[in-house]
Structure formats: C-alpha cells, structure tokens
Structure 1
Amino acid sequence: MFFSCPHCRDLVATDRETNLPPVLCPRCGGRLRADVPREKAATAVTATGDAPAKGGPSFARFLQVAASAPAATETDTHLARETTNEATSDAVKAIVDVEPLASVVQDEPPAVEPEEIETAATAIDEIATKASVPAAPSPTLQYPGPSFTRQRAQPLIPARTAKWQWAALVVLAVLLSVQVLVADRARLAADASWRPLIVSLCAVAGCSVPAWHQPSALAMLSRDVSPIPDTQGGLNVQATFRNDARWPQAWPVLLLSLSDADGRVLGARAFAPKEYLGATATQTELAPGQSAQIVLRLHEPNPDVVAFSFDFR
C-alpha cells in the first residue's frame, strides 16, 4: 500500500507484514510515526539501513522517465497504459486508505484534503497519458549545439542564369576566335583549307591577306633561247607561263640554267620579277588562269652551251 508523505508529498510504501509506515520518509527524512521516539527512530533506521536517500529520484521522476521513452509497438503501448492505470488506481487507494496514518504524527501538518487527492490523481493521469503516447523526437534535443545551428535549413534554390548572359558568352567566344584567326592569318593563309575562311574574314574585317605562293602551279607554256644576231655570246631568252592555282600568285623568281652537251650546268642565274618585268610593270600578282610572256637578253661567252632550262622559285 502507498500513502502520501506529509512533508514532501511523495508516495511512500507501507510494510507488507505489519502494514505500518516506515519510521522516516525515504525521500525527505521526515518522521512518519509518532509512537517511535526520535532517538529510537534514528537507531532503527541506522540498524535497518533505511536511511533517507536525499539525492535519489522520486516515484514521480520514474513516471516522467517512462513518459519520455517512446513506445516501440502498439502492443507495448497498450500494456504500458494498462500497467499505468493499475498503478494509478492502487496509488489512489493507498492514499485514501492510509490517510488516517498522518494523524499519528503529533507535530506534523493536518491530513491531506480531498481536493489535493484529486489534484494528485489528475497529475498521475496526465503522466500516464504522456507515457502511453510516444513523443516525437525533437531534432533540437537529439543534436544539441549553438543557437545558429538549430535554425531550420532553407531549401537551396538553384540560381537561374539570365538568357542575355548566355548570349554575351557566345558573342565573346566568337570575338576571341576572330582575333586569333586575324592574328595568325599569314600562316593560315598559306594553307589551302584555311585560306577561303581567312580571305572571307579579311574582306569583312578589312585586313590584308598575303599572296598565294605555289610555284608548282605555274605551268611553262613555251620557252626559247636564241643567239642575238651580230653579237658575240648574246642570247635572246623568251618564255611564256600560266598560273594554274586557285588564287592569285605573286610574280615568281625565274631560275635559268645553261648546260653543255653532256648535261653539265655551265651557268645559272635567278631573275627577280623586277628584272624580267621591267620598271613599267604595274601588276603585282598573276591572276588564276592568267598567262605572261617574258623576254631576257643575256651574254654568255662560253660557246659550249647547247641546252637550257627554266624553273620557278
């Protein structure tokens, strides 16, 4: 059986054999029996080892601990609810039954009023209800930390890139590519695969493109070397050639070689465009498919010269 301690209002169990309360309250150490003197009460408590546990937890504390533990299943919740209801009814009966026991203490407060019993029963019912309903785990209690870490995390919203930024990026990439092509146009213009792009780009940008240089595309149409009448060692050289390249070419360097009957080269000379065109020439390039005729007058004192050849550089 249980009854309420007049000093600390805690529930105290009576002895099972004698059905009498203990001499001192196990919780607060208050005297519960007036028929035992204080000296004998202290001696009895020391002998039996029933010293009050001033720092120990009360019965209500055990109920609160049980309330904080979440139920695992519905069956456990039902069993806990039935057990709590039985304990509550027994506690209320104990309070009612042992109410006269409080009168045995002569120098203690009066007995517990019915309103206090109802208040205690209501508090026990609330504790039992909390024990039967598992509390939702709190993230703040599970993960303690500074206040700024307990704030709710805001969902991350991906930043949207404006369309004009993508357009500006494309324009900048195109401008960078154009600058690279214009800066390296001399090397790229010498490549047949890149030259059309470079020519079109410079036509828009207003830059100059180096002339195409392909000596192998110059075809020799006719050539002739004849002595000049009434001169000793004078030679009259005539040649006609055509530009078969896809683009205009600058006038080439003409290489003339003279050899004897055995094929040995007796003399060779390279003629620049100014030498075989003359100072009156105004055309700086030879257009695709255009042919040109040149005439040279040379002096060769070696009479063994019987053959000649032309080459372009």
Structure 2
Amino acid sequence: MYAQCPDCLTVFSMDAELLAQARGHVVCGHCQVEFDALLSLSSQLPPEPFQYLPSRENSGRLPRADAAVYRPRPEQVFAPASTPAAENGDFSQLVFSPRFAREAKSSAGRRWPWLVACLVLLLLLCAQLAWAKRDVLIADATAGSWLRQACTGLGCRLPLVQDVHRLRLLARDVQAHPSVPGALLISATVRNDASFDQPWPVVSVTLSDVDGKRIAMRRLQPAEYLGDSAALERGLAAGGNAALVLEVEDPGNKAVAFEIGFE
C-alpha cells in the first residue's frame, strides 16, 4: 500500500500494521509534516507520469464487510480488547478454529457411512473366501479347532471333510458267508486319525490269486455297507473306530489274498 505526503508530495510505501497502530497518522520522513495517510492510501501506484495519488474523503457511510475468511465457533471465548493480555500483546489465551479444520471435521462426519459400507463388504468377502476354502480350514489343526468351538457355541454343525490318508485299517478278516452260498463275508476295523469328523469312505475290495494277479474287485458305497442312515449322516467321528462288514461274491478257490482300500 502507498500514501502521499500532502506537503512535499513524497510517496511512501506503507505497512498495514503501522497504520493500524497510529490510526492512520504518520510523520513524513522528508519534510517532517504529520498527515493522515488514510486520505491518500492506495493499493497500487497509478501509471506514470503521476503527481498526486487520488485522495479519499470520508463518505460518512460505513462499508459492508462480506468477504469473510474466518469466523469463530459460538462456544469459543475471546479475551476483550481492553484486557491486560490484549494490551500487552499476549494473545496466548485466544482460541482459533481455522476454517479448514471445521471443513475437515464436517468431511469426517460425512465419510463414516462409506467406511462402514467398506467394512461390511470386506467382511462379506472374507466370509466368501472362508466358505470357498472351508475344507482346508476345517482340516487345519488350529483353524478347525476354533471353528468347531464356535459352532458348538452357536449350535451349528460343520460340514464333513474327507481325508482318506488319515484313515487307518486296524484289523481285517475274510470268511465264507454263513448264510449266503457263493459269497464271502469280510470284516474290517478302521480308525479315523484326523482331528475332525470324516464322511464314510468308499471301500474297495480287491481279490488276487497266488501269483498276486487281480481276479476280482468291488467298490462299495457307504450306503451299501451301512444300514444306519443317522450314522451315515454323522460320519466317522474324529479319533473313533468303526467295524465294517462287507459282503462280496466268492470268485472261487483261486482267490487266496485280498486287499482293502479307502477312496
């Protein structure tokens, strides 16, 4: 900002803080005349050549201030201008709330529904992945234990997971069927070494001759060797034993060995 001495016409660069402290009255540094700088105050110099800065007389009408850059919140308390803190230049007690801080707070308030929606979608995605990998999770020692405990508390039941590699054949025997001519009665005891319940396996019976050549084979579905539908639905309990009784056709005297497998 610029102001002009009315006596010697010297133009000076003015500082707003100095003008505010002196209420616009300054002393010319050239001719030492005191003058009101507000009467000739200008934001920029007019194009040269110029002699006088345009003067401003008091119009008697107060200008309206509309371009607000800051407004305190209602709960903020400001120290009066006449207090000792203001007179001594100590503004540490004043509380300011910049406009960008209020806008950030308002934006955070509008953002939380999106955060909740994203969290719900993330949980749904995790649930879909867990369902797709349920067999792996149930078979895992740690995750399967947590899932079984959670299901016990909720009153639900985990789906059966099959792992025939954890089924162990403890005993087996074959003999002629006591009541059906031309048939063999095979009994076997199987144990589930897994930490989770398994569905009943498909049992394969292979008969071979003295040279080890296969002469007969049969695959038995669980419904063929289990007569209890409830036991079929429950599956083979973790760590439990089960006795299986299988009926197969007798291939004759050539069959001297047999083998039982699980699928």
Q: Same fold (TM over 0.5)?
A: yes
- 1:215 Cα shift? 1.1
Aligned counterpart in structure 2 of residue 282 of structure 1, from 223, 227, 230: 230
Report the Cα offset of residue 84 of structure 1: 1.9
Provide, for residues 232-269 of structure 1, a one-character-per-residue CA deviation record: whole Å limited to 9, x for no partner: 74322111111111122221111111122222222221
Aligned residue for 1:305?
A: 255
> Aligned pair 1:151/2:67, yes or no?
yes
The residue identity in structure 2 corresponding to 1:312 is F
Contact 1:233-1:303 at 8 Å conserved across structures: no
2:31 to 84, 92, 98: 84
1:216 maps to 165
Please say if residues 224 and 239 of structure 1, whose CA atoms lie closer than 8 Å, have aligned partners that are also in contact: yes
Kept after mapping to 2: 8 A contact 1:260/1:306: yes
For residue 31 of structure 2, give the secondary structure of its aligned residue in structure 1: helix
Provide the residue aligned with 2:57 in structure 1: none
Alignment of 1:42-191 (within 5 A): 63-64=8-9, 66-70=10-14, 81=29, 83-84=30-31, 125-127=33-35, 141=43, 151-154=67-70, 155-156=98-99, 157-158=101-102, 159-160=104-105, 173=119, 177=123, 180-181=126-127, 184-185=130-131, 187-191=133-137
Using a 3 Å threshold, how does the CA distance of structure 1 residues 309 and 233 change in structure 2: closer, same or farther? same
Q: 1:199 to 1:182 in 2, by over 3 A?
A: farther
Partner of 2:195: 246
Give unmatched runs, 5+ long, in structure 1.
1-59, 72-79, 86-124, 143-148
RMSD: 4.4
| 1:260 counterpart (199, 209, 212) | 209
Partner SS state of residue 224, structure 2: helix
The aligned amino acid for 2:11 is: A
Paired positions, count: 191
- Counterpart residue type for residue 153 of structure 1: V
Q: What is the CA–CA distance in structure 2 between the aligned matches of 1:205 and 1:168, rounded to whole Å?
A: 30
TM-score (norm 1): 0.48
Is the alpha carbon distance of 1:246 and 1:197 closer, same or farther for their aligned partners in structure 2, counting shifts above 3 Å? same
User: Deviation string for 1:26-63 (max 9, x for gaps)?
Assistant: xxxxxxxxxxxxxxxxxxxxxxxxxxxxxxxxxx8793
Task: Say whether 1:234 aligns with 2:183.
Answer: yes
User: Which structure would you say has the larger Rg?
Assistant: 1
Letter aligned with residue 187 of structure 1:
K
Q: Does the C-alpha gap of structure 1 residues 186 and 223 become closer, same or farther in structure 2, counting only changes over 3 Å?
A: farther
Amino acid at match of 2:133: R
Residue 271 (structure 1) aligned with residue 215 (structure 2): no
Structure 1 or 2: more strand by fraction: 2
| Unmatched tracts of structure 2, length 5 or more | 16-27, 45-64, 71-97
Equivalent AA in structure 2 for residue 151 of structure 1: A
Structure 2 distance, partners of 1:225, 1:218, is 20
